[in-house]
């Protein structure tokens, strides 16, 4: 238990309403407390009182590296004013170094795996020098898309709702009935009555609507990028990921936290895809360097993010954003596995 008043007592600068919210936080679920702490930190700044509590929450929700960073920030803030706390000192001398050591050892162990496909830097790939001829009918698709969206914002809105639903369904974020999907496309997210399939990952109607609204917000941000020729930066890509994962960051509210807009470089997460034929993903230390190649940047949401970012050149060339329907998922995954440049 913390003993320093800086860590035990709610700062007096906090409003009476916020003090009451903090006192009743014990009644909230972990994801609700997370939102509360993050909101207060954004409004009041990095008070150690909030930092250590969010750090404990991060650790409990499976993000020990981010937890260690928060404990370190709280320690540095108190150290500057000559304040020390035995409990915080324990975290700094035991939990923090043990956490970094654990994740470094996991990475070192991953280097000893016999991979079916090893990772290599983007610049090492032998990219094709000639562009293959586009598929037949591409001009017709372009012309039809142009005629459909010209002076017709309603059609574009419906198409984006279609894409928002499909990009989540293909990742099993949730599964909706066909009739429900059509209703969302036609009428919008808010008025739609959410009806899920029995094997849907979540059946919570409010959560599903929230995820769809997050996805639509991410696509709107992507459209703005496509219309404004700017270089894609780490900040831009992470911002779109944070929009996309605003609701999904709590991983279906099962107690695990997926940090939105944070790369694996920050979380020190090592990712290996598959077991019988393991594929090595970009090492976490290289993720930020490879971000312009859109590698597996985060712990979740990578497929949805990749389809959003890959839509930018299509839109700039006059084509619609990428949409993969559930029925084409096997072909989609097969194509991903085949797109391997030797």
- Give the domain ranges of the chain: 5-110, 122-338
Helices 64-80 and 48-60: crossing angle in degrees, nearest 10, is 160
Alpha-carbon span 185 to 169, nearest angstrom: 14
**Domain 5-110 top-level CATH class:** mainly alpha
Q: What is the DSSP letter of 234?
A: H
Q: Which of 140-144, 236-240, 256-260, 313-317 has the lowest mean pLDDT?
A: 256-260
Other CB atoms within 10 Å distance of the CB of residue 112: 6
Cα dihedral across residues 107, 113, 116, 118: positive or negative: positive
Q: How much is the pLDDT for 326?
A: 84
Mean pLDDT throughout 32-53?
Answer: 96
Alpha-carbon span 273 to 279, nearest angstrom: 5
Cα dihedral across residues 204, 207, 210, 212: positive or negative: negative
> Can 5-110 and 122-338 be said to share one CATH topology?
no
DSSP string, 268-335: T---EE-SSS-EEPPPGGGTTTTGGG--S-SSS-HHHHHHHHHHHHHHHTT-PPP---GGGHHHHHHH
- Reading the block at residue 203, the tokens are 């059946």
pLDDT at 341 over 60: no
Q: How much is the pLDDT for 342?
A: 41
Distance of alpha carbon 42 from the chain centroid: 19
Alpha-carbon span 297 to 264, nearest angstrom: 6
DSSP string, 142-182: HHHHHHHHTT-HHHHHHHHHHHHHHHHHTTTS--B-HHHHH
Mean residue pLDDT of the chain comes to: 88
Q: 3-state class of 55 per DSSP?
A: helix
Q: 3-state class of 82 per DSSP?
A: coil
Alpha-carbon span 86 to 92, nearest angstrom: 10
Q: Which of 38-52, 153-167, 189-203, 263-277 has the lowest mean pLDDT?
A: 263-277
In this prediction, residue 84 has a pLDDT band, given cuts at 50, 70 and 90, of: very high
Other CB atoms within 10 Å distance of the CB of residue 11: 17
Q: How much is the pLDDT for 108?
A: 93
Question: Which of left, alpha, beta for 151 (phi over 0: left; psi -120 to 50: alpha)?
Answer: left
Q: How much is the pLDDT for 256?
A: 74
Cα dihedral across residues 81, 82, 83, 84: positive or negative: positive
Q: How much is the pLDDT for 142?
A: 93
Q: What is the DSSP letter of 94?
A: I
Angle at 64 between CA 60 and CA 68, to 5 degrees: 115
Mean pLDDT throughout 141-153?
Answer: 89
Mean pLDDT throughout 107-125?
Answer: 84
Question: pLDDT for 61-73, tens place per residue?
Answer: 989 999 999 999 9
The yes or no reply on domain 122-338 and CATH 1.10.3290.10 is yes
In this prediction, residue 100 has a pLDDT band, given cuts at 50, 70 and 90, of: very high
pTM: 0.83
In this prediction, residue 335 has a pLDDT band, given cuts at 50, 70 and 90, of: confident
Phi and psi of 117, rounded to 5°?
-140, 115
């Amino acid at each position: 238990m913390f003993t320093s008043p800086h860590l035990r007592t709610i700062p007096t600068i906090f409003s009476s309403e916020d003090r009451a919210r903090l006192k009743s936080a014990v009644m909230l679920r972990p994801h609700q407390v997370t939102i509360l702490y993050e909101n207060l930190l954004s409004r009041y700044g990095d008070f150690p009182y909030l930092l250590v509590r969010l750090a404990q929450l991060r650790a409990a929700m499976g993000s020990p590296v981010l937890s260690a960073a928060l404990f370190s920030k709280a320690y540095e803030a108190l150290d500057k004013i000559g304040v020390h706390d035995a409990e915080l000192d324990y975290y700094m001398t035991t939990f923090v170094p043990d956490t970094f050591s654990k994740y470094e050892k996991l990475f070192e162990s991953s280097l000893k795996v016999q991979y079916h496909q090893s990772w290599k830097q983007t610049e090492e790939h032998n990219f094709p020098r000639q562009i293959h001829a586009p598929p037949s009918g591409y001009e017709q698709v372009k012309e039809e898309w142009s005629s459909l969206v010209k002076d017709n914002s309603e059609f574009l809105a419906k198409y984006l709702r279609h894409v928002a639903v499909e990009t989540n369904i293909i990742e099993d974020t949730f599964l909706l009935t066909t009739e429900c999907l059509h209703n969302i496309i036609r009428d919008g997210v808010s008025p739609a009555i959410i009806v899920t399939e029995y094997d849907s990952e979540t059946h919570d109607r409010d959560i599903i609507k929230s995820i769809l609204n997050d996805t639509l917000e991410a696509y709107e941000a992507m459209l703005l990028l496509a219309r404004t020729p700017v270089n894609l930066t780490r900040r831009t890509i992470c911002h779109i990921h944070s929009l996309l994962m605003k609701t999904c960051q709590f991983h279906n509210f099962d107690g695990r936290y997926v940090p939105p807009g944070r790369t694996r470089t920050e979380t020190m997460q090592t990712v290996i895809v598959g077991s019988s034929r393991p594929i090595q993903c970009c090492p976490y230390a290289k993720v930020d360097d490879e971000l312009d190649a859109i590698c597996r940047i985060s712990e979740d949401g990578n497929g949805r993010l990749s389809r959003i970012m890959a839509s930018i050149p299509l839109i700039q060339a006059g084509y619609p954003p990428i949409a993969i329907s559930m029925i084409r998922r096997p072909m989609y995954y097969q194509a991903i596995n085949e797109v391997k440049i030797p």
